[in-house]
Amino acid sequence: MDAFVLLGSFVVLILVGMPVAYALGLASLIGALWIDLPLDAVMIQVASGVNKFSLLAIPFFVLAGALMAEGGMSRRLVAFASVLVGFVRGGLSLVNILASTFFGGISGSAVADTASIGSVLIPEMERKGYPRGFSTAVTVSGSVQAILIPPSHNMVIYSMAAGGSVSVAALFLAGLLPGLLLGAMLAAYCLYVARKQNFPKGDVIPLKAALKICGEAMWGLMTMVIILGGIMTGIFTANESASIAVIWAFFVTMFIYRDYKWRDLPKLVHRTVKTVTVVMILIGFAASFGYVMTLMQIPLQITNLFTSLTSNTYLILFYINIMLLILGTLMDMAPLILILTPILLPVVKTLGVDPVHFGIIIMVNLGIGLLTPPVGSVLFVGSAVGKIKIEALVKAMYPFFVVLLLLLGLVTYVPALTLWLPRLMGVN
């Protein structure tokens, strides 16, 4: 009955249109009143939920990504990718994927990736003869790399939702190979389609122009080197890398590229503050929700439910994947991470699944959810940028969903794919 009151009130509040963050907070209060928990305890959990040092990485990474996204980085990354792969048949689709790989390592946001890369490449791909649905689907699917390749904001949120027991640095390293593998799998499919449909080849860029393009892009790509290199070598932590990335992104945007006007900078900071504020409110209320859930022993009940179904680890992970895929179509990524991590982490720990490995499983599942209706935010951004109806875009996405599900299977059942690099670097 406790679970019905807490979870039922949350679902009802969502259905009546209340924002997820406030629904979490109000459901926590309802649950606390039901079990006679002092409301002061709930408020303390809200405050302590956001009073975590690791969360400092979120505003820094968001600001660094915004600076590079609006400062002309996406255009330069597209040009750089064109130098590398644009000359092959279907090269523009490969440029799209590779640009998403680079940009994902700077922005950490699938939405920003789709908006920035899509606005540059979708019209160009259509002009070169690529179907609009295919062009948009490539852009949207490639943006999932931003969730896996560091710096992913959602990995920081998962670390916090896991009680701080999972290292952000380990998650960053664990997501790198799956993210690159996704790019390679999408590229392989695009090459197959290009050969089958005889997509055009791109032009070979002259050496002098190519060198200039590479030189300009390297300034922005150094952001990735700062974030990954610093963490992998142990020179600084994830939080420190985020703050240094902001300084570097500001320097490159305002003094090297100089595409962004100083008078627009306060507006960018204002948008970043609004974004971070929403995330922090969500984290605070989710912490209180998780606290009430724990007192009601809901995670323990869920663990007992799964283990009573079967003792087969692979089968339980399959059930969890199905559940995450379904829920991912109904709710945005961050709230689901905050709600489900305290529930499911005890289940997988009982099965011997590494929390870092499970974190990447969650990222891939909910990343797919961002591309599916009815609430897939990346899908809607892609539809708007590509000027294509949702129905047509979803139809064009079918083969890309197959690729994404194949990646999910590999990540789920081949733990070495995620755990090899963190263990190699000695990051736990």
Express each pLDDT in 306-343 by its tens digit: 778 777 889 999 999 998 998 888 778 888 898 889 88
CA 41, CA 31: separation in Å to the nearest integer? 12
**What pLDDT is stored for residue 136 in this prediction?**
93
What 8-state DSSP symbol labels residue 324?
H
- The region of weakest confidence among 182-191, 198-207, 409-418 is 198-207
Q: Which of 12, 31, 4 is nearest to 290 (CA)?
A: 31
Query: Which range has highest mean pLDDT (53-62, 287-296, 389-398)?
Result: 389-398
Residue located via tokens 């995450």: 324
Confidence of residue 184 (pLDDT cuts 50, 70, 90): very high
CA 201, CA 298: separation in Å to the nearest integer? 56
Mean local confidence (pLDDT), 383-387: 88
CA 150, CA 152: separation in Å to the nearest integer? 5
Asked if 181 and 417 touch (Cβ cutoff 8 Å), the reply is yes
Q: For helices 57-70 and 207-224, what crossing angle results, to 10°?
A: 160
Omega cis (within 30) before 335: no
Q: Is the dihedral of CA 370, 376, 379, 381 positive or negative?
A: negative
Express each pLDDT in 295-313 by its tens digit: 887 777 777 777 787 778 8
Please give the residue that has the higher pLDDT: either 389 or 237.
389
**What pLDDT is stored for residue 411 in this prediction?**
96
**What pLDDT is stored for residue 25 in this prediction?**
87
pTM here?
A: 0.88
Mean local confidence (pLDDT), 392-406: 94
Mean local confidence (pLDDT), 131-144: 92
Express each pLDDT in 250-290 by its tens digit: 888 888 888 888 888 888 888 888 888 888 888 888 888 88
**What pLDDT is stored for residue 48 in this prediction?**
83
- Say yes or no to pLDDT of 90 above 90: no
**What pLDDT is stored for residue 269 in this prediction?**
87
Mean local confidence (pLDDT), 363-383: 88
- pLDDT-above-90 percentage for the chain: 21
The mean pLDDT value of the chain amounts to: 86
Query: Which range has highest mean pLDDT (34-43, 342-351, 403-412)?
Result: 403-412
DSSP 167-183: -HHHHHHHHHHHHHHHH
- Say yes or no to pLDDT of 212 above 80: yes
**What pLDDT is stored for residue 186 in this prediction?**
95
- Say yes or no to pLDDT of 213 above 80: yes
